[in-house]
Structure 1
Amino acid sequence: METRSLRSEEVRQARCGRVLDPHIAPLNRWAGERSSRTGQWLPFFDPADGGVGARVLLLLESPGPVVSRTRFVSVDNPDGTAENMRCLLHLSGLRRSDVVLWNAVPWQMSEGGVVTPRPAQYAEAAPLTREVLALLPQLQAVVLVGKHAQQAWLAVQSPLPAFSCPHPSPQNFNSRREEAAKALTALVGVYGRLLPAG
């Protein structure tokens, strides 16, 4: 299983060339329109994921610094958190076509280093999360990845089933080994609840 592939300029260029593939175009058009309207830069959804056909939304906290270089919310990003998330998906049985990734506070605010979202930003971002949910007609579950995503979800007020998952940062997994097991258990549980596609 290849990880961190978006460190390659060739891979990034190829992925950028697919941002308007039919399954992902509605999401990326939405992100581009919201970026233009608000002046807050939003990254692309990854065309390697399920797009509008996704059955599971992995709702992360906020885009990390690497996203300003790759332009994608992706498990292929060249950082430890993305690599851990990709490994968890692989082990859980969830396929890339099953999932789409986004952030509870979706705009880039950490280009120069990690920035922790604030509660006021959860409320500001909640309408954007609701708009994303409306673009995902096959969605069956939301996985809230990390405490900030879990707190931000309260402002979204969605009836969709939501499941908590520890944040897969290397710092979290390395200092609390049991967190990786909890994260995998959460994703396996979500996979087991999915209705057949189609």
Structure 2
Amino acid sequence: MMAAGRRGPHAGALSDPAELAARHALLRDAPHTAPIRALAGRIREATGRPVPEPDPLDGGAEARLLLLLETPGPRLSHENAIVSRDKPGGTGANLRRFLDAARIDRRDMLIWNAVPWIIHAPGALNRAPRTAELRAGLEWVPPLLEAMPNLRVAVLAGRFAAAAEPILRAARPGLPVLTMPHPSPTYVCTSPAVPARIAETLEAAAALLRGGRA
């Protein structure tokens, strides 16, 4: 089970139903996640699709770093999904490894997706978002930024998340926007240059959070 407060639990913790239930219980009393949860509710209402909740152990609306991934993965439950570094599978394991190496405090960040709803049918294999899905998902980036007044840096992971760069720059002129490969094992294992670039990007983001130069 999860330790009290907002400290990190064991790796891949959200594969444990008890841990997932505990995280949802925290959400009910987590004011820092309320604006993001409200946005998720608006997206659900507008799209009719399941939208994962923010992790209450992360920074929520108070976060200074936005890590934008691509889509919620097919492993996530349609009913109880949470966007988190603690999700099971290779992407979650890589996220934890890279974020821990960069010493980015999870309370300083929000993990979200360029297409914030689950696009996969239950039990379906992973797939890339379609052009129309990505376009529709990116329409929710400006409301997300409005909910994050403390944002100091955005990191876009993967080519679909990178499509949000012009929207971010238009909505928040001067905000540092960094891009990196997606941390999925599909990409990380292709070349030593991929994990090196991810590590370099997250270290630059950490430097910006500390007030240094990237």
Give the TM-score, by structure 1 length: 0.92
Between the aligned partners of 1:63 and 1:40, the Cα distance in structure 2 is: 12
Q: Is 1:123–1:155's contact at 8 Å kept on the other side of the alignment? A: no
Q: Is 2:141–2:167's contact at 8 Å kept on the other side of the alignment? A: no
Give the TM-score, by structure 2 length: 0.85
> What do residues 67-121 of structure 1 show as CA deviations (whole Å, max 9, x unaligned)?
2265011110001101101111110011101110000011101241212012332
Gaps of 5+ in 2: 1-8
Question: What is the one-letter code of the residue matched to 2:159?
Answer: K
Question: What is the one-letter code of the residue matched to 1:100?
Answer: L
Please give the secondary structure, in 1, of the residue aligned with 2:195: helix
Post-superposition offset of 1:194 = 1.8
Note if 1:147 corresponds to 2:159. Answer: yes
Between the aligned partners of 1:107 and 1:9, the Cα distance in structure 2 is: 21
Please give the secondary structure, in 1, of the residue aligned with 2:112: strand
Partner of 1:124: 136
Gaps of 5+ in 1: none
Q: How many residues get paired?
A: 196
Note if 1:102 corresponds to 2:112. Answer: yes
Between the aligned partners of 1:126 and 1:148, the Cα distance in structure 2 is: 10
Q: Is 1:123–1:152's contact at 8 Å kept on the other side of the alignment? A: no
Residue 181 of structure 1: which of 196, 199, 211 is its match?
Answer: 196
Note if 1:48 corresponds to 2:60. Answer: no
Residue 127 of structure 2: which of 115, 129, 141 is its match?
Answer: 115
Residue 145 of structure 2: which of 133, 137, 148 is its match?
Answer: 133
Which segment is superposed worse, 86-95 or 110-119?
Answer: 110-119
Post-superposition offset of 1:152 = 3.7
Between the aligned partners of 1:61 and 1:93, the Cα distance in structure 2 is: 23
Q: Is 1:34–1:42's contact at 8 Å kept on the other side of the alignment? A: yes
